[in-house]
Amino acid sequence: MTTPLRGVLLDFGGVIWNMRWDVCRELEQANGLPPRAIFETLYRTPTWKAIERGRGDLRAWREEAHRLLEALAGRPLPRLHEAWRSAQHLIPENVELVRALRPAYRVGILSNADATLRVRLRDGLWIHDLFDIVVCSAEAGMAKPEPAIYHLAAERLGLPPEACVFIDDHEPNVTAARQVGMRGILFRVDRGQDLRAELTALGVSPPRS
């Protein structure tokens, strides 16, 4: 018998936060860079792997990313990572969905993020109180797709993994969630997916008022 879903865990970047991949691609094309260069010089380096586990200096990481991008281009570049980041924003419909799901469901964030995530949610975006828990990889000292961080998130929700659904925009992270017993949704806002519909298909929907 399938365990009823009572908990919803969401990635932050890509699920709550629109990463604006279209802007990233436009910046790369305008500056003669290969696809994914901006993303990979920022988030696919050993320095980021340390940052997302709570080690290292944020400013040094960003400076290194800029140097890597300039080395790839072979010339000086404007601060493209910052330009990309400044275009990003909340996904309003998903924020409203989170608000509607509570208190019928336990809802949390499970994100590979630097140590500023909780402060951003509370003091910059003012959405911290929408979530029962926030599991940030930099605080936990481990990151998706490590199985232990999914178990930690479920434990903090007070639920078994089988009672949770996890939503992420990166397929290996969704696969890892399924491997620990959670249901998983691969969600890409840039492909026009509707998260409310995806959850409804699993039997998770806001109660009618």
What pLDDT, in 10s, does the model give residues 98-115?
999 999 999 999 999 999
| Among candidate residues 71, 87, 103, the one where a domain is terminated | 87
Q: Could you tell me if 15 and 114 lie in one domain?
A: yes
Count of domains forming the chain: 2
Q: Where a domain ends, among 39, 65, 87?
A: 87
pLDDT band at residue 172 under the 50/70/90 scheme? very high
Asked whether residue 209 carries a pLDDT value surpassing 80, the answer given is: no
pTM: 0.95
pLDDT, one tens digit per residue, over 142-156 is: 999 999 999 999 999
Assess whether 72 and 59 both reside in one domain: yes
- The percent of residues in the chain predicted with pLDDT above 70, rounded, is 99
The percentage of residues in the chain with a pLDDT greater than 90, rounded to a whole number, is 97
Of 25, 48, 21, 38, the C-alpha closest to 73 is 38
* CATH (domain of 118): 3.40.50.1000
Look up the domain containing 151 and give its range.
Answer: 7-19+88-201
Q: Residue 168 has what pLDDT? A: 98
Residue 160 and residue 153: Cα distance in Å, rounded?
A: 10
Tokens of 1: 């018998």
Q: What pLDDT is attached to residue 207?
A: 84
Residue 122, pLDDT score: 96
Same domain, 177 and 192: yes
Give residue-wise pLDDT tens across range 9-66: 999 999 999 999 999 999 999 999 999 999 999 999 999 999 999 999 999 999 999 9
Q: What is the pLDDT of residue 2?
A: 82
Q: Are residue 175 and residue 96 in the same domain, yes or no?
A: yes
Alpha helices in the chain (DSSP H): 21-30, 37-43, 46-51, 58-73, 80-87, 92-101, 117-119, 137-140, 147-157, 171-179, 195-201
In this structure, the answer to whether residues 197 and 145 fall within a common structural domain is yes
d(CA 183, CA 38): 31
Residues forming beta bridges with residue 167, ordered by sequence position? 10, 185
